[in-house]
Amino acid sequence: MPIQHKFYINLLDDHDRRYKFLGKNYHRWEAVSREEIPDEIDKKMISYWNYPRKSHLGRCGCFCSHMELYHYIIDNQLNDVLILEDDAVQVKDFPTEYPTDGLIYLGGFFGNQKITDKEPVKITFKDGINCLDPKYRILMTMSIIIPTWHIAKEIVDHIENKQRYRAIDIMLGNMAIPKYFEYPGCFVEEGSDSTIATKDKKSNEFYRWVSSKPIKVKI
């Protein structure tokens, strides 16, 4: 089935990031701001001891925004749902056919399943939909398809049964459900800073983490 429902997650004050979605049949999902983080989420979210407080709260907000949207999908039994974060930029058409037994990524970047593993990622793929080798994960939740509300329920049940939380992309990557990705990706990340952290890198359509700084050309 082709995509039936399209959402983008966007903070109330981030007006500039809405324009690219106007007139394209997207529903705006209001993101949870740093000021709205429930104490329980703040306390249960794991961040490194030296992680800036502002970035920690941004991580919590991203987590809450996704979880609230997943609950909405379940409550309304929505299938074929595309979820974007507002820094996603479309670079090609998204697929009209895809598996329904897991998550489908349309952007992000490859990483090892164990985040601290420094071994180079070696993934073979073809154009179109690929199954992700369980040795690896895709980081970021910039652009994902949740094919059925049952998958959304699996996600919510898995996360809410945990004693502690991590960033939402880590939580999804830790789940033992099939994961797929469209190659090349349909969405790339804007080079501007996110609401979580200042960035000098971004993901591209080849699922690589690349510099977002302009290239200086010597004359």
Q: Residue 189's domain is classified under what CATH number?
A: 3.90.550
In this structure, is residue 77 part of a structural domain? yes
The domain in which residue 25 lies consists of 5-211
In this structure, is residue 179 part of a structural domain? yes
In this structure, is residue 15 part of a structural domain? yes
Domains contained in the chain, number: 1
pLDDT score recorded for residue 212: 67
**Average of pLDDT values for 111-135?**
91
In this structure, is residue 39 part of a structural domain? yes
pLDDT score recorded for residue 103: 98
Question: CA-CA distance, 70 to 64, in Å (whole number)?
Answer: 10
Residue 198 pLDDT > 70: no
Reported pTM? 0.93
Instruction: State CA 5 to chain mean position distance.
Output: 16
Residue 170 one-letter amino acid: I
In this structure, is residue 217 part of a structural domain? no
In this structure, is residue 218 part of a structural domain? no
Cα-Cα-Cα-Cα dihedral sign, residues 130, 210, 65, 171:
positive
In this structure, is residue 207 part of a structural domain? yes
In this structure, is residue 219 part of a structural domain? no
pLDDT tens track for 56-106: 999 999 999 999 999 999 999 999 999 999 999 999 999 999 999 999 999
Pick left, alpha or beta for residue 128 (phi over 0 → left; psi -120 to 50 → alpha; otherwise beta).
Answer: left
pLDDT tens track for 136-185: 999 999 999 999 999 999 999 999 999 999 999 999 999 999 999 999 99
Give me the chain's average pLDDT, please.
92
Confidence of residue 215 (pLDDT cuts 50, 70, 90): very low
